[in-house]
Structure 1
Amino acid sequence: MSPVPKYDFNAQGRRLPQLDLSSLKINIAFIRNKTIVITGGASGFGAGFCTEWAPHGANIIIGDVNVAAGEALIAKLRLETNNKNLHFIHLDVTSWRSQVDFFREAVRLSPHGGIDTVVANAGVNGPREANLFENPMSDYLNDPDPPAPTLKTIDVNLTGVLYTAHLALFYLPRNPDSTPCSPTSPSGPGQRDRHLILLGSIASLYPVVTQTPYTVSKHAVLGLFRSLRMNAPLSSGIRVNMLCPYFVHTPILGTPARLVLSGNAIGSVEDVVEAATCLVSRPEIIGRALVIGPKVKVRVQVDEDGIGLGGTDGIPYVEQVFEVADPERSGMPDGQGAIQERAIWEVYADDFQHADHFTARMMNLNQAASAVKGWIGFAVDMASAITWRLWSGKPNREMTPVKKERTSK
């Protein structure tokens, strides 16, 4: 019997070095002439992305249910930047038809007839909806027709994101003159891209007490990211990245939450925009999730070469956080760190390695089993797959039409 071949991973799927975020590198020239689609772009992070990228010559199409805010933003940016390739389209992300129409119109408006980056940004959080979910008010024992709990948060944050991601997986590989993503992708201003950014939250990683629907939806977005981050580059040449902002003063943060967070450190829209700009402008960044928290002065962890560590290893301990840097402690005596101002951190940087090992072992195991069974086993399985219903004696309820019996009166 011939030896079982080892499963050979495509280069795009291999584990990449952790990002060095101690000095955020942004290739702003790469953004020029990119067609970028942003859902929920009329306010909050979406508006911040649009405001940052429009002056650099990006072709931006934003969608939102808030028509007045969306149109006002685009009109303002067109006037300020003299960039005419900025557009607003009404979009309800919970409506499949609305999303289909939005993407079709975005392609029509794109100067090169394609989409380079899709930002699945639209999101909501309803405190009252969350409160009613955890504290049922209806009499489910006696009410003859009890109402179901409202799940608008799930509809927008999960179903809407799934619709957006699904359409992105269709349109991005069809971007004219684009090539599959790679860690060695050229980053010149004339290069096309295939990029999907998912907007998660700190709630993707940690439960937000009393905000069950929101936490569930953002945990699900993390699941979507972890599913696509490895598959999409291999199957469609699409790079998938994710942003996980901490609590930030945007419209999604209501008054009760602002009261609870009074006196606590808060993240900034500017830092979230900077993290997104880094991802958009560097086509070699594939499958990364960035947490954006309050900006603090910390002693950054580095490796033996002085390179800032990513993932869990790069996150400082509490005693290494300083509100104001002490000049006498500008570096650790053993050379293992230096004080820097940071708001952006990488998470799940080592997932690729675990996924590689698991998948490789499973593939080798399956190939070994196939080799043992050989062609005779293959033929037997094929025959069994074709004839099993004949021997089971049970009709296929999904395929067999139900005959209605007529009753005589």
Structure 2
Amino acid sequence: MTSNSTGLSAYIKQSPPLDFSIPYDDAWVKDRTIVVTGGASGFGAGFVRRWAANGATVIIGDVNVEKGDALARAIRKETGRDRAAHFVHCDVTNWQSQVNLFKEAVKWSPHGGIDTVVANAGIQANDRLQQPGDLGAAEPQPPNFATMDVNVTGVLYTTHLAYYWLPKNPGSKPCNMNSVPDKQTRDRNLVLLGSIASLAPIAAAPLYGASKHAVLGLFRSLRSTSHMEGIRVNIVLPYFIDTAIVPPMAKLLLAGGGMGKVEDVVEAATRLVADTRILGRGIVVGPKVTIKQDESGEFKLVNKDTEGSTETALWEAYADDWEEVDAFDRRVVKLLNAVEQARGWVGWATDIAKLVGYQVFGYGGERS
């Protein structure tokens, strides 16, 4: 183990921070095959409609058969393309159900592969983690962890399957931030759906907050090796958006503060899906506001007619966090190197002897 003055960020290959003033073209999704879990309603339905309208083949995976099938039929009618959209019943918490979704997507794909996977399925069930119920009962009842099952286990299943099928996409190449998006029709792309709850605690919703923190942690780990595995990984982090997933009580508490719009979430995801140059980036979606940056670099809310102002609902999160990790990284590596040097060859030999003992005799394998 050696210290490196350039730090960990030298090994992390990511595209430059996003500049939302640079245009992209929806038409870049033309002829791609895109899988969207939870695609029958909310953000998912918005993704499906926009991408199919621009020439993509979109496979909708959802537990809601009525909505999913109706959406696929409507899109095929609107676009006049039989392969514009296809619905597959999918329970993301069931491994085989997700496997079946991906198999069906490959069959339905015009080119026999999958270009983009969007892990969109998510719920916010009744959060009873800190509400054990009847304290006079003989023993507590098991809590309902459906939120974790869908938002974490389901996303992990989707991610695992994406890493299996995306590299098998015929005609695709490993991701490259220098690619020319209007020339690269085949892709290897995973988009995760986080939340403002990935970035900040949400009062009275510990399960939902924990689940979305997990999705952010997954993204931040995966993107560090995306250039090695050849798969573009990005994330969308919506604020409270005016959809059915936001419970009435939350909408009451948010009244007067502004909520985000579904079309802005779709806009953020479309940029990430369409532009093959974007690797390892996260977009926060909030209420649309007019801002101007002051001399200190801080953004201030201003009137729409203010000179130099910008209207936006999109912000980049964690643009430079690997750079920020460097200071911590160098300190820890320096300390670990000092420990290694202090122990010397005796310490090395002791560790090797322990390793041999674990493998041969099976002792020392206890885990905390």
- TM > 0.5: yes
Greater gyration radius: 1
Cα deviation digits, residues 202-260 of structure 1 (max 9, x gap)? 111111111121111111111111111112332x1111100011111112112222222
Q: Does 1:200 align with 2:199?
A: no
Structure 2 counterparts to residues 183-332 of structure 1, below 5 A: 183-234=177-228, 236-300=229-293, 316=299, 320-322=300-302, 324-326=303-305, 329-330=306-307
Q: Does 1:349 align with 2:283?
A: no
Q: 2:72 aligns with which of 66, 71, 74?
A: 74
Q: 1:143 aligns with which of 129, 134, 138?
A: 138
Cα deviation digits, residues 254-294 of structure 1 (max 9, x gap)? 22222222222111011111111111111111111100110
Q: Aligned-residue CA RMSD in angstroms?
A: 3.3
Name the SS of the counterpart of 1:283 in structure 2.
coil
* 1:395 shift after superposition: 8.8
Inter-CA distance 251–20: structure 2 relative to 1 (3 Å threshold): same
Q: What CA distance in whole angstroms lies between the structure 2 residues aligned with 1:243 and 1:63?
A: 19
Give the residue type in structure 2 aligned to 1:84: D
Inter-CA distance 10–31: structure 2 relative to 1 (3 Å threshold): farther
Inter-CA distance 388–82: structure 2 relative to 1 (3 Å threshold): closer
Inter-CA distance 389–43: structure 2 relative to 1 (3 Å threshold): closer
Q: What CA distance in whole angstroms lies between the structure 1 residues aligned with 2:286 and 2:138?
A: 45
Inter-CA distance 314–162: structure 2 relative to 1 (3 Å threshold): farther
The answer to whether the 8 A contact 1:33-1:57 is kept is: yes
* 1:111 shift after superposition: 1.3
* 1:159 shift after superposition: 1.0
The answer to whether the 8 A contact 1:43-1:251 is kept is: no
Q: Does 1:156 align with 2:150?
A: yes
* 1:5 shift after superposition: 9.3
Q: Could you list the runs of 4 or more consecutive aligned residues of structure 1 that deviate by over 4 angstroms after TM superposition?
A: 3-12, 355-384, 387-392, 394-398
Q: What CA distance in whole angstroms lies between the structure 2 residues aligned with 1:187 and 1:43?
A: 28
Equivalent residues, number: 365
* 1:27 shift after superposition: 2.5
Inter-CA distance 286–386: structure 2 relative to 1 (3 Å threshold): same
Gaps of 5+ in 2: none
The answer to whether the 8 A contact 1:32-1:189 is kept is: no
Q: What CA distance in whole angstroms lies between the structure 1 residues aligned with 2:359 and 2:237?
A: 49
Inter-CA distance 217–377: structure 2 relative to 1 (3 Å threshold): closer
**Which residue in the other structure is 1:178 paired with?**
172
Give the residue type in structure 2 aligned to 1:325: K
Q: What CA distance in whole angstroms lies between the structure 2 residues aligned with 1:177 and 1:364?
A: 45
Give the residue type in structure 1 aligned to 2:43: F
Cα deviation digits, residues 325-348 of structure 1 (max 9, x gap)? 23xx40xxxxxxx20111100010
Q: 2:51 aligns with which of 53, 70, 84?
A: 53
* 1:101 shift after superposition: 1.1
**Which residue in the other structure is 1:405 paired with?**
none
The answer to whether the 8 A contact 1:242-1:288 is kept is: yes
**Which residue in the other structure is 1:20 paired with?**
19
Name the SS of the counterpart of 1:133 in structure 2.
coil
Inter-CA distance 360–197: structure 2 relative to 1 (3 Å threshold): farther
Q: Does 1:90 align with 2:89?
A: yes
Inter-CA distance 391–63: structure 2 relative to 1 (3 Å threshold): closer
The answer to whether the 8 A contact 2:46-2:263 is kept is: yes
Q: What CA distance in whole angstroms lies between the structure 2 residues aligned with 1:97 and 1:142?
A: 37
* 1:52 shift after superposition: 0.6
Cα deviation digits, residues 67-104 of structure 1 (max 9, x gap)? 00001111111111112221000010111111111111
Cα deviation digits, residues 107-154 of structure 1 (max 9, x gap)? 12111111111100001112xx21x33222133x6415x311111111
Inter-CA distance 15–93: structure 2 relative to 1 (3 Å threshold): closer
Inter-CA distance 110–8: structure 2 relative to 1 (3 Å threshold): farther
TM-score w.r.t. length of structure 2: 0.87
Identity of aligned residues (%): 47
Inter-CA distance 19–389: structure 2 relative to 1 (3 Å threshold): closer
The answer to whether the 8 A contact 2:91-2:98 is kept is: yes
Q: What CA distance in whole angstroms lies between the structure 2 residues aligned with 1:8 and 1:142?
A: 55
